[in-house]
Amino acid sequence: MSKLQSIKGMKDILPAEVGAWQRSESVMRRVVEAYGYREIRFPLIEKTELFARSIGEQTDIVGKEMYTFSDRDGDSITLRPEGTAGCVRAGIQHGLFHNQQQRLYYVGPMFRHERPQRGRHRQFHQIGAEAVGWEGPDIDAEMISLVSRFWRELGVGGIELQLNSLGDQEARRRYRRELVDFLSQYESHLDKDSQSRLKTNPLRILDSKDERTREIIAKAPDILDSLGSQSRVHFETLQEYLSAAGVEYRVNSRLVRGLDYYSRTVFEWTSNRLGAQGTVCAGGRYDGLVQDLGGKATPAIGFALGFERLVELMSAQEHEKPADVYLVLLGTAAKRTGLVVGETLRDAGLTVIGHCGESGIKSQMKRADKSNARVAILIGEDELQTGTYVVKPMRSDRKQTTVPEERLLETIRDVIGGGAGEIDNP
């Protein structure tokens, strides 16, 4: 029979990589919570209409990337391609935005039917946050500071922040017309994608990677010149706040975001260590979305960060957590004792791997070595008779010792050092 394989673009995350995933997730949860964000969990599937209405019919996501199905009732449902739509839908539905301000965050998988390649998968994972109910640049600055803290606390360097403003809906419409007028003069010189975007989503052309298109874009009108006075003040104040907070950034007036709902502030953090998919985190302000989805007009801003790209920037091995103890158990009576001792040590906060299966001391010691545990504890006939344990350091030249039960824990702690048995919380 042929072997079953995972679906194209869907990646297994194997135990050797999981340490980096867990560590980054726990650090980022701690950081967002340190700014007062609270977690919200919403479904992986929603009515297709939600995404069509919020992200926009003309976007890549809705136009060609969504996993859309009819369910058994004939309703059109879609696996969530991003988190903002579901988060806002849930907030409106449960009255969270009714005369209230909310700092919310979410973590989990997203689905987009894109061409799989490095840094681009069909199931990928994001942490995202949304601040709903604030209109000023102070919350923008706070959110950007928060993401900057991610990089510091995760020890990820070489990341650049790019910043732009798209203005309000009206300025955007104005700019869109100007841009279409300008680009139409060069229509036949644009790449194929950009030619069709000229009619559907012209702002996205600014994002084109095609060289000839880029030369044309270089002469296109600047979106920052079309900002209204309020948007201009918003953007300038944001920059003042960021400078005061010591956050480095570069204004890039060609930065646009693929989703329709953005207005005013948009931002992206990129790394040149990720190949073609250099953006690791992105977001912006979406002051019209809550109303578009049926709520009261409410300003909001959010970001989303991709775990796959982040983890690529962290070296996997450093984050693997070896066990503290491997129990080498020789014979049935030793197994019985091992089960009890294992529980006692776990009560004390240690991670303990008990040997399972019938094998001799040599092969058990080999397993202990391979497990990377820091200490092996041997229990055999002699130890059972004398009520003692052999404690063998595995990662140093220190000699093994034989100790009675009441000295077992302190001996282990002595070998593995101070941090042992504490919750890993770097």
Contact positions vs ligand ATP (CB under 6 A): 82, 112, 114, 119-121, 124, 126, 258, 277, 279-282, 304, 306, 308-309
Contact 98, 79 (CB under 8 A): no
Least separation in angstroms between residue 89's CB and ligand ATP is: 17
N-to-C CA span, the chain: 47
**164, 370, 121: which is closest to 285 by C-alpha?**
164
Least separation in angstroms between residue 281's CB and ligand ATP is: 6
- Residues with Cβ < 8 Å from 283, sequence gap 6 or more? 128, 143, 257, 266, 267, 301, 302, 303, 304
Of 256 and 350, nearer to ligand ATP (C-beta) is: 256
For residues 197 and 188, give the distance between their C-alpha atoms in angstroms, rounded to a whole number. Answer: 13
Least separation in angstroms between residue 15's CB and ligand ATP is: 21
Of 13 and 361, nearer to ligand ATP (C-beta) is: 13
Of 37 and 269, nearer to ligand ATP (C-beta) is: 269
Question: Which residue is closest to ligand ATP by CB?
Answer: 306
Of 271 and 364, nearer to ligand ATP (C-beta) is: 271
Counts of helices then strands in the chain (DSSP H, E): 15, 16
> What one-letter code names the amino acid at 102?
Q
Least separation in angstroms between residue 168's CB and ligand ATP is: 21
Q: Residues 274, 108, 265, CA angle at the centre, nearest 5°?
A: 65
Least separation in angstroms between residue 123's CB and ligand ATP is: 8
Of 168 and 312, nearer to ligand ATP (C-beta) is: 312
For residues 349 and 404, give the distance between their C-alpha atoms in angstroms, rounded to a whole number. Answer: 20
Least separation in angstroms between residue 29's CB and ligand ATP is: 17
Of 124 and 326, nearer to ligand ATP (C-beta) is: 124
**207, 205, 186: which is closest to 196 by C-alpha?**
205
